[in-house]
Amino acid sequence: MEQKLHVSSSPHFKGNNSTRRIMLDVIIALCPAAIAACVIFGLRSLVLIAICVATCVLLEYVSRKIMKRDATIGDLSAVVTGLLLALNLPVDINPLIAMFGCLIAIVVVKQMFGGIGMNFVNPALAARIVLLVSFPSAMMHWAPALGAPAAAAIDATTSATPLVAEAGTYSYIDLLLGRCGGSIGEVCAVVLILGGIYLVIRKVISPIIPCVYLATAALMSLIVGLDPLYQLLSGGVLLGAIFMATDYTTSPVTKWGKVIFAVGCGFFTIMLRQFSNMPEGVSFSILLMNILVPLIERATVPRTLGYIKKKKGEQK
């Protein structure tokens, strides 16, 4: 035998999934939402998405370079972050503000904590919140959506989001199809659900988080006297439950951890919507639960096969 053999620890077979493949699946799942955004708010949405994605990838590349770490843009996670952030913005936001959001997401939240897998809050979500706090009026200026009911218009350039609009302004159909005010990716419920189904079929996400999140939010709505279906279809609940709360890095890896996490998200979403003066509870509730993830994981270590709880004094 001429050449040397490769020697390593078992296993010598590996599956063919990769980080890149997973991120690609997330991008594919977000495509319907991106297309819907273009239809509903015009091609400006596409420009916004392009700006965010390009900025995120560039920032990821530059910051890795400066920190002298190996390049990671190939894993496509920066593309996902850019896409998610864009979908969480109003269509006529100043591009500079959007780029500032990218800086927060990629540099401050992600890379300063060590890059993919190390951040403890969801980068796109954290960026959205920073922008919301820093530029409240720009972040809550909602351009009219294609086919939105006339009653929703506040003036020629603004319309109300379903959460602040008077009851009866929007029908369920309006919400399903995205005929309402809101950030470009959150308005159209149908495409988000479609993306979620794709992710579950591809086994990229487990259905636990979205389902439990939505179920809890519906239950809480009932309890506090809101219309559950309306609550689920409006605002960022679907986008949050399907794409933000399921972020690997910032959600628990254990099964019961996922349940607890999602219950918390659903609970706080409705509580914030009902009892705070912020109209939107999704971002804050997910962020809050992100921070609790290490605690939740500690509390939900799965029972290993053959593990029997030892009673005191039963030691052999």
Partner 1 sequence: MAELSFPKRPYRTKGGVHAPHNKNTAHKESVVLPVPALVALPMTQHIGAPCKPMVKVGDTVDVGQQIAGSDAFVSAPIHASVSGKVKKIDKITMPDGSKVDAIFIESDGEQRLSPDIKPPQVDSLSDLITAVRDSGLVGLGGAGFPTAVKLNIPSDKHVDTLIINVAECEPYITSDHREILENSWDVISGIITVKEFLNIHRVIIGIENNKPDAIKALREIADSSVDPEDEIRVLPIKATYPQGAEKILIKACTGREVPVGGLPSDAGCLVMNVGSIAFIARYLKTGIPLISRRLTVDGGCIENPVNVIVPIGTPIKEVIDFVGGYKEQPYKLIMGGPMMGISLPNDELYVLKQNNAILALSEKEAKFNEPSACIRCGKCLDACPMRLQPLELANAANRGDIDGLKLYNAMNCMECGCCSFTCPAKRHLVQNIRVGKALLQKAKREAVAASKGGKK
Tell me: does residue 168 bind partner 1 (CB under 8 A): no
Question: Is the distance from CB of 224 to CB of 270 less than 8 angstroms?
Answer: yes
Question: Environment class of residue 94 by beta-carbon count within 10 Å: exposed (0-12), middle (13-18) or buried (19+)?
Answer: exposed
Q: Which residues of 209-225 are buried (b: 16+ CB within 10 A; e: fewer)?
A: bbebbbebbbebbeeee
Helix (H) or strand (E) holding 52: helix 44-66
Helix (H, G, I), strand (E, B), or coil: what is residue 153? strand
Select from 30, 116, 218, 239 the one that contacts partner 1 (CB under 8 A).
116
Question: Is the distance from CB of 292 to CB of 264 less than 8 angstroms?
Answer: yes
CB of 297 to partner 1, least distance (A): 8
Indicate the residue among 119 and 169 with the shorter CB distance to partner 1.
119
Helix (H, G, I), strand (E, B), or coil: what is residue 174? helix
Tell me: does residue 8 bind partner 1 (CB under 8 A): yes
C-alpha distance from residue 191 to each of 37, 122, 249 (Å)? 10, 22, 24
CB of 21 to partner 1, least distance (A): 7
Residue among 250, 254, 247 nearest 300 (CA): 254
Query: How far apart (Å, rounded) are the C-alpha atoms in residues 72 and 75?
Result: 6
State residue 286 phi and psi, 5-degree precision.
-65, -40
Tell me: does residue 308 bind partner 1 (CB under 8 A): yes
Tell me: does residue 117 bind partner 1 (CB under 8 A): yes
- Judged by CB under 8 A, the chain residues 172 through 231 that form the site for partner 1 are 206
Tell me: does residue 311 bind partner 1 (CB under 8 A): no
Tell me: does residue 248 bind partner 1 (CB under 8 A): yes
Select from 150, 155, 167, 306 the one that contacts partner 1 (CB under 8 A).
306
Tell me: does residue 9 bind partner 1 (CB under 8 A): yes
Tell me: does residue 68 bind partner 1 (CB under 8 A): no
Select from 156, 167, 303, 312 the one that contacts partner 1 (CB under 8 A).
303
Tell me: does residue 75 bind partner 1 (CB under 8 A): yes
| Residues that contact partner 1, how many (by CB under 8 A) | 40
Tell me: does residue 118 bind partner 1 (CB under 8 A): yes
Residues lying near partner 1 in the complex (CB under 8 A) are found at: 1-3, 5-15, 17-19, 21-22, 72, 75, 77, 114-118, 206, 248-249, 253-254, 301-308
